[in-house]
């Protein structure tokens, strides 16, 4: 399951039409990697006593590995991708709205946010979570003057965790056979309210082999193998059908 790389490269640039929900399911192994390689090794080992929320749960690809480590997992999304989440718009979420609707305030927030509004999601997450926030974003999210001025300058993450290997994602499905031309990293904030932010970010490289180490047999239930190859074949067929006739329609 983890070694198949038979499809053409997926340019997962997440450049979607305006209004797109930007749903790119996270390979489950990528979530396990940051929990075990970063949080556990840093000393955050009491997650069974903690509550985590994924506000863009999609098809449950991040929820499943979170349930292996956290004692309580809450999930929501603006759309039902098949797992019947509570429908909530995280861009308007606050601790007060959660409490008013009978929810507990989470210790942690984990998510793979829609790229175009990831900064808005982060603002909400940092104001809601009590202990930590972990965002999986494209590597390029760390660049840009606006993000420096609004995020990384005034409130830098505690950990910046780039993957050495690619984390393949395609829109609307997780295909473990897909490949990718896009790099990803975890951005992790620790929200210890008794101390000031350290003002510096530690780089924790996630080395090659994370997919092999953290893929589980149970992940097959979340996968759509061959989807990337099917889409590539469909694009090729559509391109051939739309090609002009060799004789220009003169016969």
Rounded Cα distance, 150 and 162, in Å: 21
pLDDT at 199 over 80: no
Q: How confident is the model at residue 243 (pLDDT cuts 50, 70, 90)?
A: low
For residue 99, the model assigns a pLDDT of 98
Summarize the chain as % helix, strand, coil (round to 5): 35, 20, 50
Task: Supply the pLDDT for residue 248.
Answer: 56
Confidence of residue 200 (pLDDT cuts 50, 70, 90): confident
Q: What is the pLDDT of residue 11?
A: 36
Query: What confidence tens digit (pLDDT) does each residue in 58-98 have?
Result: 999 999 999 999 999 999 999 999 999 999 999 999 999 99
Write down the pLDDT at residue 155: 93
Q: List the structure tokens of 202.
A: 């530690």
Average pLDDT, the chain: 88
Q: How far, CA to CA in Å, does 218 sit from each of 21, 108, 129?
A: 27, 24, 29
- pTM of this prediction? 0.87
The continuous run of DSSP H or E covering 179 comes out as strand 179-180
Give residue 197's pLDDT band: very low, low, confident or very high (50, 70, 90).
low
Angle at 52 between CA 47 and CA 58, to 5 degrees: 130
Token representation of residue 225: 């193998």
What is the rounded average pLDDT of the residues 227-237? 92
N-to-C CA span, the chain: 50
Average pLDDT over residues 45-54: 96
Is residue 233 classed as helix, strand or coil in its secondary structure? helix
Residue 12, classed as helix, strand or coil, is coil
Q: Is the dihedral of CA 46, 47, 49, 51 positive or negative?
A: positive
> What's residue 192's pLDDT?
75
Q: How far apart are CA 10 and CA 170, in angstroms?
A: 7
pLDDT of residue 3: 38
Q: Which domains does the chain have, with CATH numbers?
A: 20-242 (3.40.50.150)
Q: How many CB atoms lie within 10 A of CB 94?
A: 12
Give the integer Cα–Cα distance in Å for 172 and 84: 16
Alpha-carbon distance 4 to 134, whole Å? 28
Cα separation, 227 vs 83, in Å, equals: 20
Can you give the pLDDT at residue 234?
A: 92
């Amino acid at each position: 399951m983890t070694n198949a790389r038979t499809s053409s490269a997926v340019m997962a640039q997440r450049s979607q039409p305006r209004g797109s929900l930007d749903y790119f399911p996270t390979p489950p192994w990528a979530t396990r990697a940051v929990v075990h390689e970063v949080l556990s090794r840093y000393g955050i080992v009491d997650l069974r006593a903690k509550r985590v929320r994924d506000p863009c749960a999609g098809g449950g690809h991040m929820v499943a590995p979170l349930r292996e480590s956290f004692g309580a997992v809450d999930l929501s999304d603006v759309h039902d991708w098949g797992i019947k989440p509570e429908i909530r718009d995280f861009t308007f979420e606050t601790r007060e709205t959660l409490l008013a609707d009978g929810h507990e305030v989470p210790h942690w927030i984990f998510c793979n946010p829609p790229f175009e509004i990831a900064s808005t999601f982060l603002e909400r997450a940092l104001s809601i979570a009590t202990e930590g926030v972990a965002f999986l974003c494209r590597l390029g999210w760390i660049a840009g003057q606006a993000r420096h001025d609004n995020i990384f300058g005034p409130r830098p993450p505690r950990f910046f965790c780039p993957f050495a290997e690619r984390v393949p994602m395609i829109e609307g499905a997780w295909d473990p056979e897909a490949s990718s031309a896009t790099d990803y990293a975890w951005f992790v904030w620790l929200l210890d309210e008794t101390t000031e932010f350290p003002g510096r970010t530690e780089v924790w490289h996630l080395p090659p082999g994370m997919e092999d180490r953290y893929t589980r047999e149970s992940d097959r239930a979340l996968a759509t193998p061959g989807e990337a190859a099917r889409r590539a074949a469909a694009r090729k067929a559509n391109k051939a059908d739309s090609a002009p006739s060799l004789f220009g329609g003169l016969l």
